Amino acid sequence: MINIGEVITAMVTPFDKNYSLDLNSCSRLLNYLIDGEESDGILLSGSTGESSTLDDDEKIKLFKFAKDNFGDRVKIIAGTGSNDTRHSIELSKEAESIGVDCLLLVAPYYNKPSQWGLFKHFEAIASEVKTPIIIYNVPSRTSSNINSKTCVELSKIDNICGIKEASGDMRQISEIIRDTDDDFLVYSGNDGDTLPILSLGGYGVISVASHIIGKEIKEMIASFKRGDFREAAKMHRDLTDVFYGIFIATNPIPIKEALNLKGINVGPCRLPLCPMEDKELMAFKEILKKHKIIN
């Protein structure tokens, strides 16, 4: 079993006022996530990191910066998937040469491949690298679902070690956990699904909410795993408004706003993502204030 931790933050990508990659703000954010929110791992260039608007040079620069400066303090996971298998292989090789701890490969989007096509896509990438791989199933963004049978077959490939499951399909997730080896890690890809997935035998979460309630999420998971199910359930209920409030608008618009409001400057989102409407922002601020995330 690879050791990249139970709580991995899918980190936003900081931009400056000109929408350029801001490595100074990135450094401050990483320090905050590691020391303040106690993230076990950091995922770079995922959906929350606005990977669709980052070019390859920016992604490589981000991976290298994080690995060189923070790799001794936290696990670094590089988002290297795309809807082009050849491109994914090239970027995965680049990330491997930097020495990242793990790769996250999203299901190919837009193309809408068959289950066999999905299998061959991930198989082809895995055959070109030795770095551990977590596949990422997020049908709401990709229009393709990696079904349980395909996931089970992929789990038999040596360096495919886990899945980030954001389908919300608990039957599918149950089948994956039932039919894969114990060392295959099933991560929740939705903060609100973390406790239900843990109850099925899941391992942890690749989280957006951990930007602002990372310590609380770690405590919830620890409570569950030591058998204090009532306390874990209570924490889940108490955090529910945050789990879902951060999606009051398209991710990562709200979580970037929350960080900026906390005084952790991460800048704006790149177009086509734009700021929340006033009504959304007011409702979101009330959630943050209720949970003492902002004053």
**Residue 149 annotated as catalytic:** no
- Write the secondary structure of 161-176 as one string of H (helix), E (strand) and C (coil): EEEEECCCCHHHHHHH
CA distances from 292 to 34, 242, 247, 262 (A): 20, 11, 18, 10
Residues 215, 91: Cα–Cα separation, whole Å: 32
User: What is the distance between the alpha carbons of residues 117 and 99, in angstroms, rounded to a whole number?
Assistant: 28
Question: How many CA atoms within 13 Å lie on the side-chain side of 131?
Answer: 28
Token pair 């899918």 in the structure block, residue: 10
> 64, 75, 136, 218: which is the annotated catalytic residue?
136
Token readout for 246 is 């951060």
3-state SS track over 58-108:
HHHHHHHHHHHHHCCCCEEEEECCCCCHHHHHHHHHHHHHHCCCEEEEECC
Asked about 164 being catalytic, the answer comes back as: yes
- Set 59, 64, 75, 164: catalytic member: 164
- CA-CA distance, 119 to 153, in Å (whole number)? 8
Q: Indicate which residues carry an active-site annotation.
A: 136, 164
